[in-house]
Amino acid sequence: MGHCPRGREEFLDMSAHSFVATILPGREEEWRRFVQEIVEERLHEYEDLRRRLGLRNESVWLARTQEAETAVVYLEAGDAERVISTLAASEEPFDLWFKERLLKLHGPDLARNPRKAAAGLLFAYRDVPEDPLLVAEEGLS
């Protein structure tokens, strides 16, 4: 066996978790503003949350179905199953704000599967030193 380049072992050890969360009726614009607020005003706090949760990569899409607008989320972490329980138990001020907003925008059922739908990328975060934040401009406007 050859030697893995630096970081490859870490990549191979990543676990992934993906889920969908229906956006409550009439809340799509508020949801977009929530994402925009994180990206433009609270990114440092969000990055701290990501570090504490062990998140390495994530992507969020907005999917439109006939029934509802839906956030499609993909996360990579050292232990993706631990992410949800750690966030749920956190009492950090930003985390409490974040969870409150999620409940307001999605309701208590954050794992409901919508029917198949086309999705457009709204937000992605790559764990690389150069420009880790990628925002689809048309997604936030």
Beta strands 15-23 and 55-64: pairing type?
unpaired
Q: Is the pTM of this model over 0.85?
A: no
User: Each residue of 20-54: pLDDT tens digit?
Assistant: 888 999 999 999 999 999 999 999 999 999 999 99
DSSP letter assigned to residue 69? E
Q: Are 6 and 56 in contact (CB under 8 A)?
A: no
Of 65 and 93, the one with more pLDDT: 93
Helix, strand or coil for residue 54? coil
- Predicted pLDDT of residue 76: 85
User: Each residue of 89-103: pLDDT tens digit?
Assistant: 999 999 999 999 999
Helix-, strand-, coil-residue percentages of the chain, each rounded to 5: 40, 25, 35
Residues 65-84, mean pLDDT to the nearest whole number = 84
Q: 8-140 has which fold?
A: Alpha-Beta Plaits (3.30.70)
Work out the mean pLDDT of the chain and round it to a whole number: 78
- Predicted pLDDT of residue 9: 45
Sequence spans of domains, the chain: 8-140
Q: Which helix (H) or strand (E) holds 62?
A: strand 55-64
